[in-house]
Each structure stands twice: as C-alpha cells, then as structure tokens.
Amino acid sequence: MSRRAIRIWYLIHKWSSLIPTVFLLMLCLTGLPLIFHDEIDAAMAGDAEAALSGPPSAEAGLPLDVMLEKALAGDPGSVPLFMAFSQDSPLLTVTTGPRADAPADQMELFFFDRTTGASLGPAPVNPVMDFILQLHTDMFLGLPGMLVLGVMGLLFVVALVSGTVLYAPFMRKIAFGTIRRNKSDRLRQLDQHNFVGIVALAWMLVIGLTGAINAFADPLTDSWRDGEVARMAASYAGTPSLAPRDYGSLDAAMAAANRALPGRSPQFIGFPGGDWSSGHHYAIFFQGDRALTEHLLTPALVDAATAQVTDARDMPALNQALMMSKPLHFGDYGGLPLKLIWALLTLATIWVLWTGILLWFRRTPGNIERRVEEIYSGSTPGQAA
C-alpha cells in the first residue's frame, strides 16, 4: 500500500472513530443490560409467565372471544386494539384503548392465563429498563434520534474497516497479537487496543451493521405495513369502518387464518381501525416455527364481520432481513449462553472504545506524516492516536 493510500485510510479511520465514540460508549453501556432484558423483566415482575403451566396460548386454551370479553370487562368503555400470544406458555395479553386509533400513552395492557382465564393484572412497569431501552433506541428524540444513531453505527463500521486496512501493514513485520511490553506505556496500550479490536472485529461488524439497520428499520417497517395492508384491503376502500359492536367471532377468524397459513403460529392480532390493520379486518400476524423464522411476520387479513380471509402475504425480502436483525443484535437466537458471549464481547468493545479515547488524549498533536510513515514501514500499529 502506498503512503498516499495509507494517509487517506488514516484520516478516514481517525474521524470515523472520533465522531461516534461517545455515542457508541452510550450504546454499549445501555445495550449491556438490554442483552438480558427477558431475564431482568422476569425477575422484576416475579416471573409470572414462568409460573404458568399449560400449552402455549398461541395453540390452545379458552376461546379467544371469552378472553376478549374478560379484557374488556376490566376496562369498561374501551375497545380492543391488540391481542398477543406467547409461544412458550399460556400467557395471553390484550391491549385496549378509548378508541381504535388511540396513541400508546392511552393504551392499557392486560395479562391473562388462557388455560384458566384468570387475570394476571395489568402489565408490570419497569421504569429503569424502559428508560434504558428508550435511551438506547432513540435518545428520547424519536425518529431523528434513531437516524442519528443509525449514522453513528455506519461510521463505526467504517472505522472498523479502515482500522483493519491500516493493521495489515503493521502485521508485515510483527507477529499477530504482539504486545510490546518493553516499550512505552502508550505503545503497549496501543498494541492491546489493536489486538482486542481485531479479535472482536467480526462481532463488532455484526453489531454495528445490525444496529444501523435497526435504526432505519422502523420507517421501512411502517412503510411496508401501511402500504401492504392498504393493498391487501384495496377492495374495501371507500367503505365505512366497522364499529366494535359489529365485530364477529375472533375464533372463527383465527380458524380461517390458520387454514390459509397452515403450519405457522399466531403472534398477535391487530383489531380494525388500528395502525396494524384496516377499518374492516382482524389483521392476524403469524410467525415461523423455527429459530430463524420466528421473527418473520406473515399477515392474514380476515374480514371482522364475516370471518372470510381477504388476503395473506409473506413479507418482502428486505423487511424479512430487517425483522431478523433485531434479535441478532441482542443475541436472542441462542438463549442464555449466547447472551453471555454477547455480554463479554460488549465489555471488550467498551474497553476498545475507552482505550481509544485515552490514546487520543495522550497523543502528540500534529505530525500526521510521521504516523503515516510508521504505518508504511510496519514499525508501529496503524491506529488513529
């Protein structure tokens, strides 16, 4: 590699590392507890779901119409918005609100045991985890915050790629993983910084890419949902929306959807008039039956008055990739062992980011050409400092 190419890569790595570092530290620190969000939520809620016995609520239990009546009795004057199913237990949740298009802050979420019909009360509140999730997702800024974090994720990927490119000249003359302990403290720390970074490189690339994808996923998912539902319900355009009193049997609608999409499990139902349905349909979203497909959604629109299936369509490939990136980002594919590995690698990334900051403040200002020459000659690891 020529000196000119090294100089360009050096500047790319320098600024793509410096700009997102504070954001990345925040994301790692908040992401660490989010890796264990299921375990933390279960512990703080008393693990009510684990105490339930019986088949998953997505498969069997009391009729859905009965469960819906119980939920509405607990919130008089409300209308149903969502019904969601557990794939692991009889836990069933029902979301209600004052109207079909109620905003999130006006919704009520109720837990039920579908085996017995017993109410488990409203959703447990975990303000600490809610705060951490919101900070990690959008910094309390909504879509603009998500887009900023998405750009930071892309810069992180650029920093990793450029750092790898600069590491290659250094590796020409020094064995992989060499830590020069007989040199200055700063040089020793630089060697450690490079070594840990290159060892965790593949994982950091995955996390950076999936994090960036997740940041841009919501607008794309909303676009797919709004466009797909409108296309699937095109024959109902211009007709008045159904009133809740005219809703037909949920059980009949579910049976019709199961016939249209056999071999899949229902994940949730969007009721008429909400963002996830049309004004006339129960939108029943099914998931796959394998670890890699359980996060892929296939909607079936069922006429809420007649229980006739209007349409059912698989998600486009782009949206399938978006749905699969979130569990990969948090290590949700392999249970607790994978989460522990994710946590250790997150700690390693925090260490790399922190040592990068220290190296920057301990640098000798200026003299870029000297650093370029060091990288070119292979005498010093190529790293912005």
CA distance 187 to 280: 67
> Which DSSP symbol is given to 245?
G
- The full DSSP string for 129-186 is HHHHHHHHHHTTS-HHHHHHHHHHHHHHHHHHHHHHHHHHHHHTTS-TT---TTS-HH
- From edge to edge, which strands make up the β-sheet containing 91-97? 119-122, 108-113, 91-97, 79-85, 265-270, 281-287, 297-303, 309-312
Question: What sign has the CA pseudo-torsion 178, 183, 185, 190?
Answer: negative
- pLDDT score for 385: 38
Q: 248 in a domain, yes or no? A: yes
Tell me, yes or no, whether 162 and 186 share the same domain: yes
Cα–Cα distance between 124 and 26 in angstroms, integer? 26
Asked whether residue 384 is assigned to any structural domain, the reply reads no
- Tokens describing residue 319: 């949206």
279 and 235, same domain (yes or no): yes
| Mean pLDDT of each 10-residue bin along the chain, 385 residues long | 80 88 93 85 60 79 94 90 91 93 89 90 76 91 90 93 79 66 72 82 89 82 81 87 92 95 91 91 86 76 95 81 74 77 91 86 68 62 40
Q: Is residue 43 part of a domain?
A: no
- Nearest-angstrom CA–CA distance, 108 and 177: 55
Q: What angle do CA 7, 12, 16 make, to 5 degrees?
A: 150
Do 244 and 259 belong together in one domain?
Answer: yes
246: Cβ–Cβ under 8 A, 6 or more apart, which residues?
304, 305
Based on the fold, state whether residues 122 and 173 are members of the same structural domain: no
Q: How far apart are CA 339 and CA 333, in angstroms?
A: 9
Question: Of all helices (H) and strands (E), which one includes residue 111?
Answer: strand 108-113
Pairing of strands 281-287, 79-85: unpaired
Same domain, 114 and 144: no
What 3-state class would DSSP assign to 66? helix
| Same domain for 246 and 311 | yes
Question: If you search the block for the tokens 């060697």, which residue do you land on?
Answer: 191
Single-letter residue type at 238: G
317 and 170 share a domain? no
Q: Among residues 283, 310, 326, which one ends one of the domains? A: 326
The answer to the question of residue 382 being in a domain is no
Number of Cα atoms under 13 Å in the Cβ half of residue 40: 15
Whole-number Å distance between alpha carbons of 193 and 170: 14
Helix (H, G, I), strand (E, B) or coil at 43: helix
Predicted local confidence at residue 175, as pLDDT = 67
Predicted pLDDT at 301: 95
Structural domain of 178: 3-38+130-214+333-377
For position 136, what pLDDT does the model report? 92
Task: List Cα–Cα distances, 322 to 143, 326, 338, in angstroms.
Answer: 17, 7, 21
30 shares its domain with 142 = yes
